[in-house]
Structure 1
Amino acid sequence: MFTGIVESVGTVTAVTDSGAQSQISISSPGFGDDLEYGESIAVNGVCLTVAKHSGDTWIADVMKVTRATTTLADVKVGDRVNLERAMRADGRLGGHMMQGHVDGVAELVARDSQPDWDDLSFRLPAEVLRYVVRKGSIALNGVSLTVAELEGDIATVSLIPTTLAETVFGDARVGDRANVEVDVIGKYVERMMEARA
């Protein structure tokens, strides 16, 4: 489980394709000096497993289906990515409960900079819209955010300077894609209601 509170921004140092899967290498100085083989890391909101670790760099395998359904297909050397280690059972839940299982990919369609925050508007894929509500939680590239406005398929989030400085959203441009994870509780409720019907 993750909380959507980004701990660090890493840099992609290598992407290696090997048929059905690829490997991504990420440099993250000062992040997880005690990383262990097999532990889970959310990379732009995608739960990946540490396959190798050496110094400030670690490697994760990325399956074909993950590349096909997330923005990790777009990642190239030099890209910056949001990083979060799995939540500790004795830690604070600063954002909201997340699994690192991406539900779809959104597109940034507008960015409005204000003196003290930026409004970012994303076009959401149709399959996630029923789980998104105004003032509800949403994860975009692994960041726990609140939906400030929802009009049709456009969800707007307001980002404070800290979020802009500490995540990849500081550099986000119109046209960029973002991984979307909706609130898992809503999906479970829907499933239970379907079973009762």
Structure 2
Amino acid sequence: MFTGIVEERGRIVDVHLDGSDAGTAPGSARLTVHGPKVTSDVGHGDSIAVSGVCLTVVERDGDTFTVDVMAETLRRTTVGALAAGDEVNLERSVTPTTRLGGHIVQGHVDGTGTVVRRTEHPAYDEIRIRTSAELGRYLAAKGSVAVDGISLTVIDVVDLDGGSSDEGAEFGIGIIPETRTATTLGAARAGTVVNLEVDVMAKYAERLLTAGTRKRETA
């Protein structure tokens, strides 16, 4: 589990893709990441969020760590598009004494979104992100969302074309100067694809509210 408070920007050192699924997509990957702060006290089997994706450390060598990535993660997140030299947001998993400065982030990315507009202000930047209707239904104004592993507050949500599956949804977030400097969102512009993790409580609430309906429909 994580808090969405990024500890440092890391850098991809190496990407190795293994095999393919039906000859169309990598079956798995191994990433080596440079991150002096997060590697200072991690070992084999520990979890690190890499731009919001919870990954398990399989090797550590000085200031770098290596993780394995399976096909589902490559398909659902931006990890499959990473290349050597790319920057990523890094956060170690929480401990019982960690301050919960953001919100509960599992590192289980639900899907991606695309930055459609960025408006810069002296004290903050407003970023608009478009995503699918499937994810948009879990977003709420003043609720929480993790964008590339960063805990952020949703400014507003707009269901495009009434929330149809074709058009999706658009939402706004704001980042302060500290977030500009400390995370990869500082360089995000229109067209940038980002990982999104919605609030897990919203998914559980939907599951509980629709369970009875599904039972009646199948009876």
TM-score bucket of the superposed structures, by smaller chain:
over 0.9
- Partner Cα separation in structure 2 for residue 173 and residue 118 of structure 1: 11
Name the aligned partner's letter for residue 196 of structure 2: V
Q: How does 1:30-49 map to 2 (within 5 A)?
A: 30-49=37-56
Which residue of the partner structure matches residue 57 of structure 1? 64
Displacement of 1:32 after TM fit? Answer: 2.9
Q: What pairs up with 1:99-178 in 2 under 5 angstroms?
A: 99-152=106-159, 153-178=169-194
What's the offset of the Cα at 1:40? 0.6
Distance 2:128 2:43 in 1: 37
**Runs ≥4 residues deviating over 3 A:** none
Q: Give the letter for the 2:139 counterpart.
A: V
Instruction: Confirm or deny: 8 A CA contact 2:39 2:62 kept in the other structure.
Output: no
Letter in 2 for 1:180: L
Q: Is the 8 A contact 2:145 2:152 kept in 1?
A: yes
Aligned-residue sequence identity (percent) comes to 44
Is the CA contact 2:10–2:89 (under 8 Å) kept in the aligned structure 1?
A: yes
Residue 90 (structure 1) shift: 1.7
Cα distance in structure 1, aligned partners of 2:84 and 2:181: 21
How far the C-alpha of 1:34 sits from its partner, in A, is 1.4
Indicate if the aligned counterparts of 2:15 and 2:29 stay in contact, CA closer than 8 A: yes
* Alpha-carbon distance, 1:58 to partner: 0.6
Higher Rg of the two aligned structures: 2
SS of 1:9's partner is: strand
Instruction: Supply the AA of the counterpart residue of 1:125.
Output: S
d(CA) in 2 for partners of 1:115 and 1:41?
32
Instruction: Indicate the RMSD between aligned Cα atoms, in angstroms.
Output: 0.9
TM-score of the aligned structures, taking structure 1 as reference length? 0.97
Counterpart CA distance in 2 for 1:2 and 1:29 is: 19
Extract unaligned runs of 5+ from structure 1.
none
SS in 2 for 1:52: strand
How much has 1:196 moved relative to structure 2?
3.1
Secondary structure at the counterpart of residue 51 of structure 1: strand
Q: What letter matches 2:197 in structure 1?
A: E
> What is the CA distance between 1:189 and its match in structure 2?
1.0
Shift of 1:48: 0.3
Task: State the alpha-carbon separation in 1 of the partners of residues 122 and 208 from structure 2.
Answer: 44
- The number of residues matched between the two structures is 197
